[in-house]
């Protein structure tokens, strides 16, 4: 007797850090906050419904950050999902502070990163963070000091794995001299491939690549999407094709499409089950920015 896969399970799995097996299509929580990623959601019950539905559809990798709100997305996850399923992996970030909507100054001072890690532990209601990511490199602080503080927290048992966000290959290599880096998270999608070199290096190293804005903030999903024609042929939506392309691009790719709509969530996750031929992948790859 075969068990039918849940939508997110159709994407296959990845062993994050070698020991946390997750389904490759996850969920990003940034859009659950207010406008400008500032303040609480307009509809808290709706936000909680999206988080619960993601679990029902097989999502077991959630990406968040202390700065989403700030201090809104992490408590929402705890409110919606505790007690957490045994296989749930939560990735969060520290290294940006907030002074208003759409304002994100980087702060990489070790004492700040430690403080925010302690706050994330409290907001999420966990004893150890599965994946803590440096949200941005603070150019005013040596990178080895920023990663080094996370390494100390890891040695203390407060962080399981360490990741980076918005970095170059050279910065990743520099960080690897300080600690084991299991993931990188850069802007990357079908029409913005500025991180191509990092995708290739991460693939070679077996490091997870988490593309943020995987749907180009809706730019790939509208009525004038360049994916519409092929989507119709595949009986799929442009969003599903964009996610299928990412999943085929590399076995270390972990897309985290975010939405505040249960309907959009359900639609996005069906992208995990779409299989692209090599010719279809190439056709999509030829769509330029």
Q: CA 265 to CA 272: how far, in whole Å? A: 12
Q: Are 84 and 124 in contact (CB under 8 A)?
A: no
Q: CA 153 to CA 113: how far, in whole Å? A: 10
- 27 catalytic? Reply is no
From the list 68, 84, 188, 201, the catalytic residue is 68
Q: CA 7 to CA 222: how far, in whole Å? A: 22
Active site residues: 68
């Amino acid at each position: 007797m075969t068990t039918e896969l849940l939508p997110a399970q159709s994407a296959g799995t990845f062993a994050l850090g070698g020991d946390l097996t997750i389904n490759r299509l996850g969920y990003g929580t940034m859009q659950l906050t207010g406008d400008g990623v500032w303040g609480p959601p307009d509809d808290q019950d709706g936000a909680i419904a999206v988080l619960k539905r993601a679990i029902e559809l097989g999502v077991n990798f959630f990406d968040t950050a202390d700065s989403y709100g700030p201090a809104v997305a992490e408590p929402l996850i705890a409110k919606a999902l505790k007690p957490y399923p045994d296989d749930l992996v939560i990735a969060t970030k520290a290294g940006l502070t907030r002074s208003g909507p759409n304002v994100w100054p980087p702060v990489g001072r070790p004492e700040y990163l430690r403080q925010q890690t302690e706050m994330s532990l409290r907001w999420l209601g966990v004893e150890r963070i599965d994946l803590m990511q440096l949200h941005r490199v603070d150019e005013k602080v040596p990178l080895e000091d920023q990663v080094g503080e996370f390494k100390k927290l890891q040695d203390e048992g407060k962080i399981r794995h360490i990741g980076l966000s918005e970095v170059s290959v050279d910065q990743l290599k520099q960080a690897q001299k300080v600690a084991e880096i299991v993931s990188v998270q850069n802007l990357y999608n079908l029409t913005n491939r500025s991180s191509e070199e990092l995708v290739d290096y991460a693939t070679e190293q077996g490091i997870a690549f988490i593309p943020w804005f995987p749907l180009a903030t809706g730019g790939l999903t509208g009525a004038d999407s360049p994916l519409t024609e092929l989507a119709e042929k595949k009986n799929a939506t442009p969003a599903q094709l964009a996610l299928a392309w990412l999943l085929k691009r590399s076995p270390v790719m972990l897309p985290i499409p975010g939405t505040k709509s249960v309907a959009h969530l359900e639609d996005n996750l069906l992208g995990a089950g779409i299989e692209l031929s090599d010719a279809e992948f190439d056709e999509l790859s030829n769509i330029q920015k």
